[in-house]
Amino acid sequence: MTQIIILGATGSVGETTFRVVQAEPERVSVDGLVANTQGERLWAMGRALQARWIGLADYAAGAALRRQHPSGAPRIAAGMDDILAEIAASPATKVIGAMSGFSGLLPTLTALENGKDILLANKETMVAAGDLVQKVAHESGQKIIPVDSEHSAIFQCLAPGQPVRRILLTCSGGPFRGRSREDLRSVTVEDALHHPNWSMGAKITVDSATLMNKGLELIEAHHLFSVPYEQVEVLIHPQSIVHSLVEFVDGATMAQLGWPDMAVPVQVALSWPERWAMDSLPLDLTRQPLTFDPPDTGTFEALTIARQAGLAGGLMPTVLNAANEVAVSLFMARSIAFLSIIDIIKEVLNDFADNEEVSGLAQILEADQWARTQAADVAMRYRQ
């Protein structure tokens, strides 16, 4: 029986994990669940899974939930400090990292430092602090197992001791595939949230529309698999069936295929190195065309920007991630236009003059904060 914690339990990946875990009561039990504000849903999940504790990062929401449910079963942690203490003390051995954004960094580090493997969906943590997260995992002897579908595919294709020539990250192209920059001037939040293949949280769906999601995944792949950026390429594959490919030095190329369903990478991460049966739809490749194209980096500049930030290294990816989070939330609040997301990120990256090697968490927190403030300032000129 594996005991786990689910970070971001009320989100899209969190709800998928909840279903996977509910189907495996003999194999997985849940010690704790974490969300931000959705107390009643988290409480219901905690009761259904017989969790020992649940935690809301938003202190006021956690305190309110405690007043509503004073019974203490499950116990309710309020605020991030309480949550980090619960994670540190938990007997769980695996933590699903499915919080959205930079907020996942501290719980991820705490889990690794306290003897837990991380099953990581939360790519922003790897983008903002990949070297640090890998260092902490290495020092504490813990594993980082990818849950992001592309990285799960790569993870399943790789074999120990087999040198890689290229990693091919597949990308659906998002809702605006084939559109020109001119077309993108007037797209709305609703248009951007209409992903053709995947049902996901709002932030990652907008990232998929700008293609910044693939840019973040490029940096994530570099850190997870220790591959140079020159060896990671992006391939547009509108059907989202081939989840990514690994080309080995002899030219042999392995791919992992399946319907777009996050339950598979979640379960693979939980079961690895075993495989558990799952009631999933089989592929019918006689009816399913598979097509591949190069990305349109002229219209979707995010890929180039992310690659440049990754190559610059140091704190540049931290700044990229923070500027993107701010710009995406302003777009979702309808304060800026879709194309302004990338314009703001480019300005913030240009303004960042203090790039340096990362030696610790404090530097990352400072760069993240600087980039958030800078992005908000820059965005004032883009408000509509």
Q: Which of 21, 98, 234, 348 binds ligand NAP (CB under 6 A)?
A: 98
Supply the minimum distance, in Å, between the C-beta of residue 263 and ligand NAP. Answer: 10
What does DSSP say about strands 242-248 and 253-257: parallel, antiparallel, or unpaired? Answer: antiparallel
Going by the DSSP 8-state scheme, the letter that residue 289 receives in this structure is -
Question: Residue 251 phi/psi, 5° resolution?
Answer: 95, -15
Q: Is 374 in the site for ligand NAP (CB under 6 A)?
A: no
What's the distance, Cα to Cα, between the start and end of the chain in Å?
Answer: 53
Regarding 11 and contact with ligand NAP (CB under 6 A), the answer is yes
Count Cβ atoms below 10 Å from residue 59 Cβ, excluding itself.
Answer: 14
Residues 255-294 that bind ligand NAP (CB under 6 A): 262
- Name which of 28 and 54 has its Cβ closer to ligand NAP: 54
Q: Which of 8, 173, 174, 317 binds ligand NAP (CB under 6 A)?
A: 8
Which of 14, 317 has the CB closer to ligand NAP? 14
What's the DSSP call for residue 235?
A: E
Question: Minimum Å distance from CB 34 to ligand NAP?
Answer: 6
User: Could you count the other beta carbons within 10 Å of the beta carbon of residue 164?
Assistant: 19
Question: Cβ closer to ligand NAP: 37 or 355?
Answer: 37
Q: Does 9 bind ligand NAP (CB under 6 A)?
A: yes
Residue 198, strand partner residues: none
- Residue among 14 and 173 whose Cβ is closer to ligand NAP: 14
Q: With respect to ligand NAP, which residue has the nearer C-beta, 149 or 156?
A: 149
Q: Which two tokens stand for residue 108?
A: 């991820």
x/- mask, ligand NAP, residues 192-221, rule CB under 6 A, reads ------x-xx-xx-----------------
CB of 277 to ligand NAP, least distance (A): 22
Query: Nearest approach, Cβ of 148 to ligand NAP (angstroms)?
Result: 4
The set of residues, in sequence order, having a beta carbon less than 8 Å from that of 249 and lying 6+ positions away, is: 163, 164, 165
In the chain, the amino acid numbered 302 is A
Question: Which part of the chain contacts ligand NAP (CB under 6 A), choosing from 31-39, 159-167, 188-196, 371-379?
Answer: 31-39
319 belongs to the binding site for ligand NAP (CB under 6 A): no
Q: Which of 17, 90, 103, 210 binds ligand NAP (CB under 6 A)?
A: 103
Residue (96 or 378) nearer to ligand NAP, CB: 96
Peptide bond into 74 cis (omega under 30): yes
Give which of 31, 29, 216 is closest to 125, Cα–Cα: 216
Long-range CB pairs of 270-277 (<8 Å, 24+ gap) are 270/2, 270/4, 270/20, 270/21, 270/24, 270/27, 270/28, 270/94, 270/96, 270/119, 271/27, 272/145, 276/24, 276/27
| 324 binds ligand NAP per the rule CB under 6 A | no
CA dist 234 and 249 (Å) reads 18
- Interaction mask 44-63, ligand NAP, x per CB under 6 A: -------------x------
Do the strands 94-97 and 117-120 form a parallel or antiparallel pair, or are they unpaired?
parallel
From the list 66-74, 95-103, 227-235, 269-277, the region that binds ligand NAP by CB under 6 A is 95-103
Which of 4, 5, 13, 118 lies at the binding interface for ligand NAP (CB under 6 A)?
13
Q: How far is residue 34's CA from residue 77's CA, in Å, rounded to a whole number?
A: 9
Binding-residue total with ligand NAP (CB under 6 A)? 29
Residues lying near ligand NAP in the complex (CB under 6 A) are found at 8-14, 34-38, 57, 98-100, 103, 121-124, 148-149, 198, 200-201, 203-204, 262
